[in-house]
Structure 1
Amino acid sequence: MKISLDTSLTSIVPTFKIGIIHYTKIIVAESPQMIKGRTQLYQENLFLELQEQPVTERPGIKEWRTAWKTLGADQNRYRHSAESLMRRIAKQNYLTPFHSAVDLNNFFSLQYEVPIGIYDTNLIDGNITLSLGEEETGYEGLNGRYNSLKNIAYSRDAKGPFGSPFVDSKRTAVTENTTDAIQLFYLRPSVSEEECTELLNAAGKMFSQIHGGDYTTAILTKEQAQVEI
């Protein structure tokens, strides 16, 4: 499988970066108590921090709002997923456990302040391309409604769009039957590739400690716009 970063994104934001973690032979199940407890404590501490520093002033959230606007989307109407999660916590509407893969994905998104999607590789058809949404781009999302992705970064396969930093589709969602998954990190454009590599390795290691299996990482940039996994 090849994963490519389209010039529709890097021509507007030259430092646009996508982090990739490919997991194989994983076991997805109910989150262990350690993850549930750590996530709850993290949210409680984050709630206290957000009383002093608004969500939109958090460095990662702020940078992604800027990128969102630069790409042409309304950052107030279509909030990226990391901001949406953080706004929930600011209202003490804490995230409840779903399953281990989604729970960790949300934890990473809060920790690194970037949108992250995780997808069942066996439900992806062919190669993946990340590009900028057009007028007709959209899908039925995990939020239960059709979502337009005009001027929003999104991922597609041979069947069409399946993921974005806004909301993901139902079609490629990870379940407790998933054994092979791809995680896409919409990395902060200002962060160096070296730091991004460290971030991906830290996340991959923690995910594998919970789910078993193996993982590999890669980064897509304007200069390195395609990888094969």
Structure 2
Amino acid sequence: MPDPSQTRFLASARVAPEVFALRPDYRVLLMAADGIEPGPSAPDDEKLMVAAEDAAAQTLADRPFTEVPHVAAWREAYRAFGAKPQRTRNSLEALMRRAATGLPRVNRLTDAYNAISVLHQVPLGGEDLACYQGAPQLIRATGAEPFDTIADGAPVVENPDPGEVVWCDDAGVTCRRWNWRQGRRTALTDTTTSAVFILDALDPMSDDALRAAADGLAKELERLGSNVTVASRVISAA
């Protein structure tokens, strides 16, 4: 049963009207999870990762990355706010490109959501809920918002481009260019016990397919602890 604090956190999340004006077909499913028991990658996680790598290989057996429908839709969305998809790839495309040589093995939590992203062909981000200051907000940036990241191996604070679509909280940007690069402040770690996941959908991905991806993620999260609780919410223009 979801914790009331999870439900309140999700209820406070918002997507700015300017984002829906850019892509009226956009939908996001936000999921909050608590009670996760951190740990290194395990045999069950390896099976899931291999299944995701095999699925990516099958998808790409008869087409290039650019012709995978949901990848192509996100490339169009990036162009709409001025990003160059050849240089800044959406997270789904980036993972599918890596699948050919092996998805990264990080820890149980990160491995699970990366595998679900590839299996269901949906951009999917995971962040440490305990590090949030306020609720998630998807906005078009002014260009003044701080983004805590790493450049050339050192911590730096950058700023998004004006008009760029970014996820943020009250303290600054948590993910740049919709689903391109996550920040350092809210990043998942090997000790994360509560997390928020962001599943981004555009046409032609259906609402049923988005929900199936979320159900798959919830199932994997419930393996990561005996008292895991999960709550979710969909935000759309409708």
Same fold by TM-score greater than 0.5 = yes
Any conservation in 2 of the 1:60–1:112 contact (CA below 8 Å)? no
Any conservation in 2 of the 1:60–1:188 contact (CA below 8 Å)? yes
Determine the structure 1 residue equivalent to 2:170: 158
Determine the structure 2 residue equivalent to 1:227: none
Tell me which of 30, 35, 44 is aligned to 2:40.
Answer: 30
Tell me which of 81, 89, 95 is aligned to 1:71.
Answer: 81
2:230 aligned with 1:215, yes or no? yes
Shift of 1:28: 1.9
Tell me which of 18, 31, 51 is aligned to 1:8.
Answer: 18
Q: Provide the rounded CA distance (Å) in 2 between the counterparts of 1:51 and 1:133.
A: 38
1:38-89 deviation line (CA, Å, top 9, x unaligned): 3134314533652432111112211211222223321112111111121223
RMSD, matched Cα: 2.3
Any conservation in 2 of the 1:133–1:149 contact (CA below 8 Å)? yes
1:158-201 deviation line (CA, Å, top 9, x unaligned): 11111240010110111232221110111234433344233312
Q: Provide the rounded CA distance (Å) in 2 between the counterparts of 1:194 and 1:96.
A: 28
Show structure 1 runs of 5+ residues with no match.
224-229
Q: How many residues were matched structurally?
A: 221
Would the alpha carbon gap of residues 51 and 112 (structure 1) be closer, same or farther in structure 2, given more than 3 Å must change?
same
Would the alpha carbon gap of residues 181 and 142 (structure 1) be closer, same or farther in structure 2, given more than 3 Å must change?
farther
TM-score after normalising by structure 1:
0.85
Determine the structure 1 residue equivalent to 2:211: 197
Task: Report percent identity of matched pairs.
Answer: 20
Show structure 2 runs of 5+ residues with no match.
1-8
Q: Provide the rounded CA distance (Å) in 2 between the counterparts of 1:138 and 1:73.
A: 19
Q: Provide the rounded CA distance (Å) in 1 between the counterparts of 2:211 and 2:50.
A: 27
Tell me which of 174, 183, 198 is aligned to 2:197.
Answer: 183
2:103 aligned with 1:89, yes or no? no
